[in-house]
Amino acid sequence: MKRKTDENPSDDNLDERLHSLGKRLGKNQQVRLAEGSAKSDNAGFGNALRLSTEFVAAILVGAAIGYAIDRLAGTTPWAMIVFLLLGFVSGVLNVLRTAGELSHPHKQDGD
């Protein structure tokens, strides 16, 4: 290993520049991590709102279809009960499918 007296003066300058670059990269990385966590928090809230809206919408559509069939056929609570349950199952499946897509955002169809 070389001693300090044997080194070139340009090596000292290089070490200083390398140290300065390391500091700047560290600061930039901290800023990017802070920005990234804020964006991911907002994205998580948006995804949760989307999933809950899709779930409730599926149940309401099922109930509306059942109610319409009951009014037309005169089978008062039965079609609404059946289609309400179908809407619930549809909502759960839709949420599970969407949550699976969200957990693997970079996965391609061919992968």
Domain range holding 22? 8-103
108 within a domain of the structure (yes/no): no
Which of 63, 53, 60, 42 is closest to 94 using CA atoms?
A: 53
Count: domains in the chain: 1
82 within a domain of the structure (yes/no): yes
111 within a domain of the structure (yes/no): no
23 within a domain of the structure (yes/no): yes
59 within a domain of the structure (yes/no): yes
Convert the pLDDT of each residue in 24-38 to its tens digit: 888 888 777 776 666
110 within a domain of the structure (yes/no): no
d(CA 65, CA 73): 12
Residue ranges of E strands in 16-94 = none
77 within a domain of the structure (yes/no): yes
Compute the chain's Rg from CA coordinates: 30
Q: pLDDT category, 1, cuts 50, 70, 90?
A: very low
The residue assigned the tokens 């059946």 is 82
Convert the pLDDT of each residue in 6-23 to its tens digit: 556 677 788 888 888 888
Long-range contacts of 68-73 (CB under 8 A, 24+ apart): none
2 within a domain of the structure (yes/no): no
Is residue 44 predicted with pLDDT exceeding 50? yes
Look up the pTM and report it.
Answer: 0.57
